[in-house]
Chain A
Amino acid sequence: MLSEKSLAKIARERAKYPANQARSALLAALRITQEEQGYLSDAVMEYVADLLGIPAIQVYEAATFYSMYDLKPVGRHKLCVCGSVSCFLNGSDAVLQHLSERLGVDPGETTADGLFTLQEVECLGACKDAPMLQVGDHYYENLTPESLDALLAKLRGGSDDVR
Chain B
Amino acid sequence: MPNIEIDGQAIEVAPGTTIMEAAESMGIYIPFFCYHPKLSVAANCRMCLVDVEKAPKPLPACATPVADGMKIATASRKAKMAQQGVLEFLLINHPLDCPICDQGGECPLQDITMGFANPHSHYTEEKRVVEDKDIGPLIATEMTRCIQCTRCVRFGQEIGGIMELGATGRGEHMAIGTYVAKAVRSELSGNMIDLCPVGALTSKPFRYKARSWELKHTPGLCPHCSTGCNTDVQSLGREVLRVLPRTNEAVNEEWICDKGRYAYTGLQAEDRVTQPLLRVDGEWREVSWAEALEAALSGLEQVIARHGAGRLAGLISAQSSNEELLLFQALLRGLGSPHVDHRLRQQDFRADAAMPTYPALNMALEDLEREPVVLLCHAFPRQQQPLTNHRLRKSVLQGGKVIAIDSLRRDFNYPVTQLVADAGADLALYKSLCSQLSGHAEKADATPLAHVASDLLAADNPLILIGSALLYHPQAAAMIAQIETLAELAGGRVGWLAQEANSAGAWLSGCVPHRLPGGHTAHAAGLPADALWDADMRGFVLLGTEPGMDAIRGAAALAALQKAEFVLSIAQFAGEAKRYADVILPMAAFAEGSGSFVNNEGRLQSFQAAVKTPGEARPAWKILRVLGDGLKLSGFQFNALSEVTAAWQHAIGEYALDVPPFHAFPALESVPQPMSADGLCRLGDWSIYQGDPLVRRATPLAQPAVAKMHPDQAKVLALRGDSVEISSHSGKVSLPLVLDVRIPMGAVWVPMGYSETAALGATCAPCAVTMATPPAAAARA
Contact of B162 among A55, A61, A66 (CB under 8 A): A55
Residues A36-75 near B (CB distance < 8 A): 42, 46, 55-58, 60-61, 64-67
Would you give the shortest CB distance from B141 to chain A, in whole angstroms? 15
Docked Cα-Cα span, A57 to B179, in Å, equals 7
The answer to whether A60 touches B166 (Cβ under 8 A) is yes
- Does B164 sit at the interface, judged by CB under 8 A? yes
Q: Which residues of A lie under 8 Å from residue B167 when comparing CB positions?
A: 61
Contact of B180 among A58, A60, A66, A67 (CB under 8 A): A60
Would you give the shortest CB distance from B189 to chain A, in whole angstroms? 14
- Does B163 sit at the interface, judged by CB under 8 A? yes
Given contacts A55-B163, A57-B163, A58-B163, contact A64 B168 (CB under 8 A): yes
The answer to whether B178 touches A57 (Cβ under 8 A) is yes
The answer to whether B166 touches A57 (Cβ under 8 A) is yes
Docked Cα-Cα span, A91 to B178, in Å, equals 39
Q: Which residues of B lie under 8 Å from residue A65 when comparing CB positions?
A: 168-170
Q: What class of interface size applies to chain A in its complex with B?
A: 10 to 19
The answer to whether B179 touches A64 (Cβ under 8 A) is yes
Would you give the shortest CB distance from A30 to chain B, in whole angstroms? 14
The answer to whether B165 touches A57 (Cβ under 8 A) is yes
Q: Which residues of B lie under 8 Å from residue A60 when comparing CB positions?
A: 166, 168, 179-180
Residues B147-174 near A (CB distance < 8 A): 157, 162-170
Which residue of chain B has the shortest Cβ distance to A54 in the bound complex? Answer: B163
Which residue of chain B has the shortest Cβ distance to A60 in the bound complex? Answer: B179
The answer to whether B166 touches A61 (Cβ under 8 A) is yes
Given contacts A64-B170, A65-B170, contact A55 B164 (CB under 8 A): yes
Which residue of chain A has the shortest Cβ distance to B168 in the bound complex? Answer: A64
Q: Which residues of B lie under 8 Å from residue A61 when comparing CB positions?
A: 166-168, 179
Which residue of chain A has the shortest Cβ distance to B165 in the bound complex? Answer: A57
Interface of B is mostly: loop
Would you give the shortest CB distance from A97 to chain B, in whole angstroms? 24
Would you give the shortest CB distance from B413 to chain A, in whole angstroms? 11
Docked Cα-Cα span, A65 to B179, in Å, equals 12
Q: Which residues of B lie under 8 Å from residue A42 when comparing CB positions?
A: 179-180
Docked Cα-Cα span, A46 to B178, in Å, equals 12
Would you give the shortest CB distance from A120 to chain B, in whole angstroms? 14
The answer to whether A64 touches B178 (Cβ under 8 A) is no
Q: Which residues of A lie under 8 Å from residue B165 when comparing CB positions?
A: 57
Docked Cα-Cα span, A42 to B181, in Å, equals 11
The answer to whether A64 touches B164 (Cβ under 8 A) is no
Docked Cα-Cα span, A98 to B336, in Å, equals 98
Contact of B166 among A46, A58, A66, A67 (CB under 8 A): A58
Docked Cα-Cα span, A60 to B170, in Å, equals 12
* Residue tally, chain B, CB below 8 Å to A: 13
The answer to whether B163 touches A64 (Cβ under 8 A) is no
The answer to whether B180 touches A64 (Cβ under 8 A) is no
Docked Cα-Cα span, A67 to B166, in Å, equals 18
The answer to whether B170 touches A57 (Cβ under 8 A) is no
Docked Cα-Cα span, A100 to B585, in Å, equals 77
Docked Cα-Cα span, A46 to B163, in Å, equals 14
Would you give the shortest CB distance from A48 to chain B, in whole angstroms? 14
Which residue of chain A has the shortest Cβ distance to B153 in the bound complex? Answer: A57
Docked Cα-Cα span, A65 to B172, in Å, equals 11
Docked Cα-Cα span, A57 to B184, in Å, equals 12
Would you give the shortest CB distance from A54 to chain B, in whole angstroms? 8
Which residue of chain A has the shortest Cβ distance to B171 in the bound complex? Answer: A65
Which residue of chain A has the shortest Cβ distance to B166 in the bound complex? Answer: A57
Residues B112-170 near A (CB distance < 8 A): 157, 162-170
Docked Cα-Cα span, A1 to B166, in Å, equals 25
Docked Cα-Cα span, A64 to B171, in Å, equals 11
Q: Which residues of B lie under 8 Å from residue A56 when comparing CB positions?
A: 179-180
Docked Cα-Cα span, A64 to B162, in Å, equals 20
Residues A1-58 near B (CB distance < 8 A): 42, 46, 55-58
Q: Which residues of B lie under 8 Å from residue A58 when comparing CB positions?
A: 163, 166
Docked Cα-Cα span, A28 to B35, in Å, equals 32
Docked Cα-Cα span, A61 to B165, in Å, equals 10
Q: Which residues of A lie under 8 Å from residue B180 when comparing CB positions?
A: 42, 46, 56, 60
Q: Which residues of A lie under 8 Å from residue B164 when comparing CB positions?
A: 55, 57
Would you give the shortest CB distance from B222 to chain A, in whole angstroms? 28
Docked Cα-Cα span, A45 to B180, in Å, equals 11
Docked Cα-Cα span, A123 to B167, in Å, equals 24
Q: Which residues of B lie under 8 Å from residue A66 when comparing CB positions?
A: 170
Docked Cα-Cα span, A56 to B165, in Å, equals 10
Docked Cα-Cα span, A66 to B164, in Å, equals 20
Docked Cα-Cα span, A57 to B157, in Å, equals 11
Docked Cα-Cα span, A53 to B124, in Å, equals 46
Docked Cα-Cα span, A65 to B174, in Å, equals 8
- When each residue 59-102 of chain A gets 1 if its CB lies under 8 Å from chain B and 0 otherwise, what string results? 01100111100000000000000000000000000000000000
Would you give the shortest CB distance from A21 to chain B, in whole angstroms? 15
Q: Which residues of A lie under 8 Å from residue B179 when comparing CB positions?
A: 42, 56-57, 60-61, 64
Residues B522-566 near A (CB distance < 8 A): none
Q: Which residues of A lie under 8 Å from residue B157 when comparing CB positions?
A: 55
Would you give the shortest CB distance from A52 to chain B, in whole angstroms? 13
Docked Cα-Cα span, A61 to B178, in Å, equals 10
Docked Cα-Cα span, A58 to B180, in Å, equals 12
Which residue of chain A has the shortest Cβ distance to B167 in the bound complex? Answer: A61
Docked Cα-Cα span, A42 to B163, in Å, equals 17
Would you give the shortest CB distance from B399 to chain A, in whole angstroms? 12
Which residue of chain A has the shortest Cβ distance to B178 in the bound complex? Answer: A57
Docked Cα-Cα span, A61 to B164, in Å, equals 11
- When each residue 625-638 of chain B gets 1 if its CB lies under 8 Å from chain A and 0 otherwise, what string results? 00000000000000
Q: Which residues of B lie under 8 Å from residue A46 when comparing CB positions?
A: 180
Docked Cα-Cα span, A55 to B157, in Å, equals 9
Which residue of chain A has the shortest Cβ distance to B179 in the bound complex? Answer: A60
Most buried by A among B164, B165, B167, B168: B168
Docked Cα-Cα span, A60 to B133, in Å, equals 16
Which residue of chain A has the shortest Cβ distance to B180 in the bound complex? Answer: A42
Q: Which residues of B lie under 8 Å from residue A64 when comparing CB positions?
A: 168-170, 179
Docked Cα-Cα span, A58 to B168, in Å, equals 9
Docked Cα-Cα span, A139 to B555, in Å, equals 75
Docked Cα-Cα span, A131 to B180, in Å, equals 37
Docked Cα-Cα span, A76 to B168, in Å, equals 27
Docked Cα-Cα span, A64 to B179, in Å, equals 10
Would you give the shortest CB distance from A27 to chain B, in whole angstroms? 14
Q: Which residues of A lie under 8 Å from residue B168 when comparing CB positions?
A: 57, 60-61, 64-65
Would you give the shortest CB distance from A69 to chain B, in whole angstroms? 11
Would you give the shortest CB distance from B393 to chain A, in whole angstroms? 16
Which residue of chain B has the shortest Cβ distance to A57 in the bound complex? Answer: B166
Q: Which residues of A lie under 8 Å from residue B170 when comparing CB positions?
A: 64-67
Which residue of chain B has the shortest Cβ distance to A42 in the bound complex? Answer: B180
Q: Which residues of A lie under 8 Å from residue B162 when comparing CB positions?
A: 55
Would you give the shortest CB distance from B5 to chain A, in whole angstroms? 40
Would you give the shortest CB distance from A47 to chain B, in whole angstroms? 13
Which residue of chain B has the shortest Cβ distance to A55 in the bound complex? Answer: B163
Which residue of chain A has the shortest Cβ distance to B164 in the bound complex? Answer: A57
Docked Cα-Cα span, A23 to B164, in Å, equals 16
Docked Cα-Cα span, A61 to B170, in Å, equals 9
Would you give the shortest CB distance from B206 to chain A, in whole angstroms? 26
Most buried by B among A55, A66, A67: A55
Which of A's residues lie within 8 Å of B, judged by CB?
42, 46, 55-58, 60-61, 64-67
9 shortest A-B CB distances, which residue pairs? Answer: A57-B166, A60-B179, A55-B163, A64-B168, A61-B166, A65-B170, A64-B169, A60-B168, A42-B180
Which of B's residues lie within 8 Å of A, judged by CB?
157, 162-170, 178-180
15 additional contacts (CB under 8 A) given A65-B169, A65-B170: A42-B179, A55-B157, A55-B162, A55-B166, A56-B180, A57-B166, A57-B178, A58-B166, A61-B166, A61-B167, A61-B168, A64-B168, A64-B170, A64-B179, A65-B168
26 contacts between A and B (CB under 8 A): A42-B179, A42-B180, A55-B157, A55-B163, A55-B164, A55-B166, A56-B179, A56-B180, A57-B163, A57-B164, A57-B166, A57-B168, A57-B179, A58-B163, A58-B166, A60-B168, A60-B180, A61-B166, A61-B167, A61-B179, A64-B169, A64-B170, A64-B179, A65-B170, A66-B170, A67-B170
